């Protein structure tokens, strides 16, 4: 069952060569990829998001494309369009940016809602419909989307339906002192992704994603997941709690986390660790939370501590 875990660990090691001091965040992104999900990152420019995506693509042997979202990016730039070829006397479809394995959607909240929504179908269904024809995108298809912090000049909030399509959200943040010192010392030595070796391929990644489903979850842990997600719907500081899609994402991420740890079963700590990554972008706080200066991570932490973890030992 776990013959591919060594490949995943090797890929993590390669990405950590390019992105220093962010092993926890890198592991979480790999967890989402293994679970077949997309990643949303809220960060300021210049902390290595493009390098991160390039490192993952290089380590996993995936084709990568990058779209810099601006107000003039059109939906057809993503999905593709047909042009007339006079030499062939016919219309020929030109694939858009989503026809790749790993798409880096940079500063996604700087473009128009119409273009943002163009990603909805492909993120959820892994296909696009253009001019009445449905076309499949490559498998695997993974998205790392970045957005500037809320309120930054020139940004507009993502539609809730699109935010919910992302399996997890996280932030790289600034590097620590030692990592930034190493980055400074390596200036002029070439791109950091040049040292990343390819240790797997798309076929192996698909096999790993399939392997995740064999990880076992006890009924007590399923109940624990439901209680955690349900608690977001009854919290006095939350206007709108997490949807059933959050439940599905939490199950998948918990399985992937256990698999990466070399276990055939999920333990409650797998679930609680994944909770903030899966839920923070899916809950909407009410006015009371803003008045009391309560943040999403604090509220999710309080929910996690209020729900009792199931006992995983032998029955007494």
Over residues 259-279, the pLDDT tens digits come to 999 999 999 999 999 999 999
Instruction: Out of 208, 227, 249, pick the residue that ends a domain.
Output: 208
Q: What are phi and psi of 95, to 5 degrees?
A: -65, 140
Same domain assignment for residues 257 and 121: no
Q: Report pLDDT for 146.
A: 87
Domain span at 136: 5-208
CATH number at residue 94: 3.40.50.300
Q: Report pLDDT for 167.
A: 94
Q: Report pLDDT for 307.
A: 92
Q: Tell me what the mean pLDDT of segment 11-34 comes to.
A: 93
60 vs 30, 101, 163, 205, CA distance in Å?
11, 10, 26, 8
Instruction: Out of 147, 181, 208, pick the residue that ends a domain.
Output: 208
Predicted confidence (pLDDT) per residue in 211-223, tens digit: 999 999 999 999 9
Q: Tell me what the mean pLDDT of segment 141-146 comes to.
A: 92
204 in any annotated domain = yes
Q: Report pLDDT for 251.
A: 97
Same domain assignment for residues 233 and 293: yes
Q: 128-137, 161-170, 185-194, 243-252: which has the minimum mean pLDDT?
A: 185-194
Same domain assignment for residues 120 and 262: no
Q: How confident is the model at residue 184 (pLDDT cuts 50, 70, 90)?
A: confident
Task: Give the closest residue to 208 by CA, choosing from 28, 98, 104, 60.
Answer: 60
Q: 46-50, 100-104, 250-254: which has the minimum mean pLDDT?
A: 46-50
**Residue 196 C-beta-side C-alpha neighbours within 13 Å:** 27
Q: Is the pLDDT of residue 192 over 80?
A: no
Same domain assignment for residues 201 and 244: no
How many domains does the chain contain in total? 2
**Dihedral of alpha carbons 214, 220, 224, 227, sign:** positive
Q: Is the pLDDT of residue 178 over 90?
A: no
Maximum mean pLDDT: which of 20-29, 116-125, 178-187? 20-29
Q: Tell me what the mean pLDDT of segment 285-295 comes to.
A: 88
Q: Report pLDDT for 3.
A: 80
CA–CA separation, 10 vs 68, rounded Å?
Answer: 30
Same domain assignment for residues 131 and 274: no
The answer to whether the CB of 271 falls within 8 A of the CB of 278 is no
CA–CA separation, 126 vs 135, rounded Å?
Answer: 9
Same domain assignment for residues 192 and 246: no
And the tokens for 185? Answer: 């010392």
Mean pLDDT, the chain, rounded, equals 88
Task: Give the closest residue to 20 by CA, choosing from 201, 196, 273, 258.
Answer: 196
CATH number at residue 265: 1.10.8.80
Q: Report pLDDT for 1.
A: 60
Same domain assignment for residues 143 and 255: no
Q: Is the pLDDT of residue 162 over 90?
A: no
274 in any annotated domain = yes
Q: Is the pLDDT of residue 152 over 70?
A: no
Predicted confidence (pLDDT) per residue in 60-109, tens digit: 999 999 998 888 888 888 888 888 888 877 888 888 899 999 999 888 88
Q: Which residues pair with 67 in a beta bridge?
A: 105
Same domain assignment for residues 57 and 202: yes
Q: How confident is the model at residue 316 (pLDDT cuts 50, 70, 90)?
A: very low
Q: Tell me what the mean pLDDT of segment 286-300 comes to.
A: 89
Q: Report pLDDT for 272.
A: 95
Same domain assignment for residues 30 and 108: yes
Same domain assignment for residues 158 and 301: no
Instruction: Out of 160, 180, 208, pick the residue that ends a domain.
Output: 208
Q: Is the pLDDT of residue 156 over 80?
A: no
Same domain assignment for residues 154 and 273: no
Same domain assignment for residues 181 and 256: no
| Residue 261 CB coordination number (10 Å) | 13
pTM higher than 0.95 for the full model?
A: no
Indicate the Cα dihedral angle 8, 9, 14, 17, nearest 10°: 140
């Amino acid at each position: 069952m776990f013959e591919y875990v060594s490949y995943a660990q090797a890929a993590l090691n390669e990405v950590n060569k390019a992105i220093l001091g962010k092993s926890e965040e890198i592991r979480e992104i790999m967890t989402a990829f293994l679970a077949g999900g997309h990643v949303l990152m809220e960060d300021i420019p210049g902390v290595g998001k493009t390098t991160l995506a390039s490192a993952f693509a290089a380590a996993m042997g995936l084709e990568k494309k990058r779209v810099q979202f601006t107000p003039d990016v059109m939906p057809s730039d993503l999905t593709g369009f047909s042009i007339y070829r006079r030499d062939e006397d016919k219309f020929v479809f030109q694939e858009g940016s989503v026809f790749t394995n790993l798409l880096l959607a940079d500063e996604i909240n700087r473009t128009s809602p119409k273009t943002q929504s163009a990603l909805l179908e492909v993120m959820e269904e892994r296909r696009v419909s253009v001019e009445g024809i449905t076309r499949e995108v490559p498998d695997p298809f993974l998205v790392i989307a970045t957005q500037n912090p809320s309120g930054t000049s020139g940004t507009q909030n993502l539609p809730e339906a699109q935010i919910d399509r992302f399996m997890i959200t996280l932030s790289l943040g600034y590097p620590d002192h030692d990592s930034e010192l190493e980055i400074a010392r390596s200036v002029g030595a070439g791109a950091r992704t040049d040292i990343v070796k390819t240790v797997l391929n798309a076929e192996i990644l698909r096999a790993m994603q399939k392997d995740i489903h064999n990880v076992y979850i006890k009924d007590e842990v399923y109940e624990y997941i439901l209680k955690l997600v349900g608690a977001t719907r009854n919290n006095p500081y939350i206007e709108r709690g997490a949807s059933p899609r959050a439940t599905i994402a939490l199950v998948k991420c918990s399985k992937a986390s256990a698999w990466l740890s070399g276990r055939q079963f999920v333990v409650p700590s797998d679930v609680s660790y994944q909770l903030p990554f899966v839920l923070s972008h899916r809950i909407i706080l009410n006015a009371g939370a803003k008045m009391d200066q309560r943040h999403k991570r604090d509220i999710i932490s309080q929910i996690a501590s209020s729900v009792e973890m199931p006992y995983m030992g032998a029955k007494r």
